[in-house]
Chain A
Amino acid sequence: MLRIDPLNLRSILVAIALAVCSGQAHGDALDGVLEVRSAYVSMEGGVFLLHARIEYPVSPAIRDALHDGVTLTVDLDTRIERERRFWFNADVQELTLRRELDYHAVSDRYLVRDVRSGTQKSFATLEEALADLGAVDGWPVLIEPQLAPGNYRISVRAGLRRGRLPASLHALMFWTDDWHRVSEWYTWSLPD
């Protein structure tokens, strides 16, 4: 399917909007490397499990923001497509693994929380917390019956943004919020 990346579009629009209206200079708060270093899937009992290593940026700005009480939402978007020869690829599955990172001021620890399961881990340092976030092991993304014969492509992308906003504010914020980044898609073919 033809896609126009909404985030790219958004950055263009934000640029226009800033140039036209605001004139305020926003530095990129999420400077640093954000990329999927490696990713692969393994199959176990008919379930495809995703393993990935992601590098998240560490910067004083992030640290300060976390210390001020800001929660960072870390998304891992996974997309599985069936390749078609004469047409756009067909979407088979789209999943997002959403986790949150915040600083627990009372205990002086960094918490990593899985949004869906509600499980939570705490770390003494930001680096440890980010290392934990950057390791995804055995995340079930697909079951075998979903696959028909053919070639499949899996794409993984990591995203980082300031999260846990009230929904109404979030809607308004999207065009002035520079606390939002995504990595390039990391794509490979599913072995037959």
Chain B
Amino acid sequence: MVAPGLTGPAPAKPRWRGVALVLLWAGVGVGALLLLAKSVQNSGEFSRLQPWILLLNVIGVVALTALLARKLTQLVRDYRAHVPGSRLTARTVAIFGALVVAPLLIVYLFSLQFLNRGIDSWFHVEVKQGLSDALVLSRAALDLRVREYSRHTENLAHSLVNASAEDVAQRVYEERRATAALEMAVYGAHERIIAASLENPLESIPTRPPSDLVRQVGERRAYVSLEPQAGGEYLIRTAAPFTESLSRGDDRYLVAIYEVPTQLAALSEAVQHAYSQYGELAALREPLKSSFRLTLTLVLLLAMLAAIYGAIFSAQRLVRPVQDLIEGTRAVGKGDFGTRLPLPSRDEMGFLVHSFNDMTKRLRRAREEATRSQRVVERERERLAIILARLSTGVVVVDRELTVSIANQAAGAILGTDLSAAIGRALPELTAGNERLGQFVAALVVRFGAGREEWREQLDLDGASGRRTLMCACTPQSGADRDLGYVIVFDDITMLLQAQRDAAWGEVARRLAHEIKNPLTPIQLSAELMRRRFLSSMSPQDAEVLERGTRTIVQQVETMQQMVNAFSEYARAPEMRITRFNLNQLASEVADLYRSHDPRVEIRLELDARIDGIEADRGRVRQILNNLVINALEALDGVATPRLELATRFEQAAGDARYAIVTVCDNGPGFQRELLGRVFDPYVTSKPKGTGLGLAIVKKIVEEHGGRIDADNRPEGGARIRVVLPMTDSTRSASGIRERRAELRREIV
């Protein structure tokens, strides 16, 4: 598997996108934390931003969680699918995550604990109790004053019941001065001021009595209140009706305002302040703890998620070149040397990737070189194969065990087997049923066994279809390794030898005819002259001797004359008179002739109706048939049930070439095995009579017709001669003869 983008330039987009995403979220997170921190220091400005900051943080957490979930899902999927590099990524993430999360969690738990305990420690029971006690004490201290002033005011009010208006004013003034009150005033019905004395000379009107005071004194009850002032001072406002009896109808009441001594006021205010502060904080304890917990948790979540995401991101970035390398190696393993990995960075990994790229480049070059060389070799091999196929010489390459590695078509044809199917097999395995190949292999075994590696010899191979003579040469295959095997080159020179023999015999015949025929006539004439001249004048005894002698001379001369005529016939190359005639009919005629000649012999005819007409010299074809039948009949002498078969058969060879095959078989003794290769040579005969030229002449005529003749023995006994004749004159072109011969040879085999 080759990852997309491996071969192209570095896939910058996804990586930059990832970096940008991480930077964005890191920025958002840091910004949010900064804002939060700053808001702690300056709440005024940032209090309005707090919801937004919180929202941002929550969004950050959610987004990071989503991203992380996606990453983790992908990681798990890759891990299960055994994607290269996923295990390394998972391990790195686990280590990074553990390294980051563990301290974070420890700090978090520690902080939480510390916060809880710290905040709780602010609110000790003793502190609260102490504050309450201080409060009670302050109240008691002030209460003393309050009651004192209240009693004084009540007493004064009672003492003024019967006083005149002037006396009241005087008394109020004096009492105010005497008690150091801030204000002292006497009110009548509807808050009418009857008399008033103020410490502040700038003020002329006393402070208006509060409504609750008015209500209370209206009910003829004394009033007192301790009023804290803005500056930390305390005022004691007391009021008392002149009389407690409602029935008296006296609505007047006295209001006096005293100031609590500064020291007592300050102490009380301090207690109040502390109490208030403590109460406020105590009320805030739980919300405060929750707030801290939440903030801390949020910060932890943000930090943890960001850390794990960062760990995954970093691990993937780290592993990416390794994955590329794995994929690249796989691609190279599959033979793709075009793989180029993107350079991740200039570190060691970059160096490794660079080395890998360099290696694939070298491999690619080497392979191209090898491919080129292979192509050249292939081309040479093809040329060689074509040459070998075109050769009529057989070429076989074998190793020491005679296993065939190369064999051309001609070799198969010569050895009578299909050697193209024998490539890779040992030659001895193929010899079953092929006598000629068996002899060939035996000859090789003998020579190789004798340690002969380079030789050139003529091999005679006997087979059912006759003897074949091969000119065979063996050469060890050249090369550093001597065990490459042998190249065996052989040619079937049977025909060549035959042609040589034919030519020699032709020459002999011509010379015989020329040199012997001429003296025969004078010899005969001379013998006859001698008989005529001297027979009448001789004694009967001498005459009989002469008569017998001259008759013998004349008979022998006639015999010689016949022989010379036969030779002449053999040597002669008469003009061919090609006509179209029915071969089957001619065969029938010849058969009928010899049936009548020797009725003892059973002559069977088996004619192929497809042979309607043949273009040839009718007289010479008749001679062929005559000679063949005569030859067979002569061979049947002394056979108990002589039988002769004359058959014609139509054969369509490759292309338009058509042939007529004439077969003459007998059930005689057959050809002698040692003569089988030379039965068509002149004077090769096993019969007591005959010139020994019959089959030689047949062969000559057949070859003049561009045909071919073969002789062999039938498996069931008896001789068989097959004549193959082209049916049309056009087939018989001189140029096609050799090729046709090869073709015919294969067919006959």
Contact = CB atoms under 8 A, between A and B. Distances in A.
Interface stretch (A74-82, A114-122, A150-158, A181-189): A114-122
A69 B271 CA distance: 12
A68 B279 contact: yes
Given A71-B280, A120-B229, A170-B43, A175 B291 contact: yes
Contact of B294 (A122, A171, A175): A175
A1 interface: no
B54 A175 contact: yes
B272 A105 contact: yes
B51 A6 contact: yes
Contacts of A47: none
A96 interface: no
A168 B228 contact: no
B595 interface: no
Contact of A21 (B50, B139, B284, B294): B294
Given A6-B51, A16-B58, A171-B50, A165 B272 contact: no
Interface in A85-130: 102, 104-109, 111, 113, 118-120, 122, 124, 128
A149 B504 CA distance: 147
Contacts of A67: 279
B50 A10 contact: yes
Contacts of A65: 283
Interface in B33-71: 39-44, 46-48, 50-52, 54-55, 58
Contact of B138 (A10, A21, A106, A176): A106
A148 interface: no
Nearest to B139: A106
B287 A173 contact: yes
A69 B279 contact: yes
A106 B282 contact: no
B283 A172 contact: no
A52 interface: no
A21 B234 contact: no
Interface in B225-268: 225-230, 234, 268
B71 to A, nearest CB: 22
B295 interface: yes
A146 interface: no
B26 interface: no
A106 B44 CA distance: 31
Nearest to B295: A172
Contacts of A17: 54, 58, 294
Report the contact-size class of chain B (Cβ under 8 Å from the partner): 35 or more
Contact of A13 (B54, B226, B269): B54
A119 B293 contact: no
A174 B142 contact: no
B215 to A, nearest CB: 11
Nearest to A68: B279
B47 A173 contact: no
A100 B701 CA distance: 149
Nearest to B43: A167
A168 B293 contact: no
A178 B234 CA distance: 34
A173 B293 contact: no
Contacts of B280: 68-71, 162, 164-165
Interface string B208-236: 00001000000000000111111000100
A2 interface: no
A113 B230 contact: yes
Nearest to A102: B276
A177 interface: yes
Contacts of B282: 68-69
A69 B228 contact: no
Contacts of A170: 43, 47
Contacts of B293: 21-22
Contacts of B138: 106
Contacts of B291: 169, 172-177
Contact of B228 (A68, A106, A124, A176): A106
B74 interface: no
B274 to A, nearest CB: 9
Given A69-B278, A69-B282, A118-B230, A173 B297 contact: no
Main secondary structure, interface of A, reads mixed
Given A162-B283, A176-B291, A109 B43 contact: no
Contacts of B326: none
A109 B268 CA distance: 14
A176 B297 CA distance: 14
Contacts of B284: 162, 165, 169, 173, 177
A111 B228 contact: yes
B290 A24 contact: yes
Contact of B290 (A13, A165, A167, A176): A176
A106 B41 contact: no
Contacts of A168: 40-41, 43
B25 interface: no
A119 B230 contact: yes
Interface string A39-54: 0000000000000000
Contacts of A120: 228-230
A21 B58 CA distance: 12
Interface string A122-143: 1010001000000000000000
B288 A105 contact: no
B51 A9 contact: yes
Interface in B133-167: 135, 138-139, 142
Contact of A68 (B43, B268, B283, B297): B283
B51 A107 contact: no
B356 interface: no
Contact of B287 (A10, A71, A177): A177
Contact of B276 (A16, A69, A118, A119): A69
Interface in B266-322: 268-269, 271-272, 275-280, 282-284, 286-288, 290-295, 297
A20 to B, nearest CB: 9
A65 B281 CA distance: 11
B58 A107 contact: no
Interface string B478-499: 0000000000000000000000
B671 to A, nearest CB: 116
A119 B292 CA distance: 35
Contacts of B40: 168, 171-172
B298 to A, nearest CB: 8
A173 to B, nearest CB: 5
A15 to B, nearest CB: 12
Interface centre among B286, B292, B294 (most CB of A within 10 A): B294
Nearest to A168: B40
Contacts of B51: 6, 9-10, 13, 174
A109 B288 contact: no
Contacts of B278: 69
A122 B41 contact: no
Contacts of B290: 21-22, 24, 176
A104 B277 CA distance: 12
Contacts of A109: 225-228
B547 to A, nearest CB: 158
Contacts of B297: 21
Contacts of A104: 228, 272
Contacts of A111: 228
Interface of A: 6, 9-10, 13, 16-17, 21-22, 24, 26, 65, 67-71, 102, 104-109, 111, 113, 118-120, 122, 124, 128, 162, 164-165, 167-178
13 contacts: A10-B50, A13-B55, A13-B58, A22-B290, A26-B287, A69-B275, A106-B135, A106-B139, A106-B228, A106-B275, A109-B227, A169-B284, A178-B287
Interface of B: 39-44, 46-48, 50-52, 54-55, 58, 135, 138-139, 142, 212, 225-230, 234, 268-269, 271-272, 275-280, 282-284, 286-288, 290-295, 297
| Leading 6 A-B pairs by shortest Cβ distance | A69-B279, A167-B43, A68-B279, A120-B230, A107-B226, A176-B290
Given A70-B279, A106-B271, 5 more contacts: A69-B277, A107-B225, A107-B234, A176-B291, A178-B287
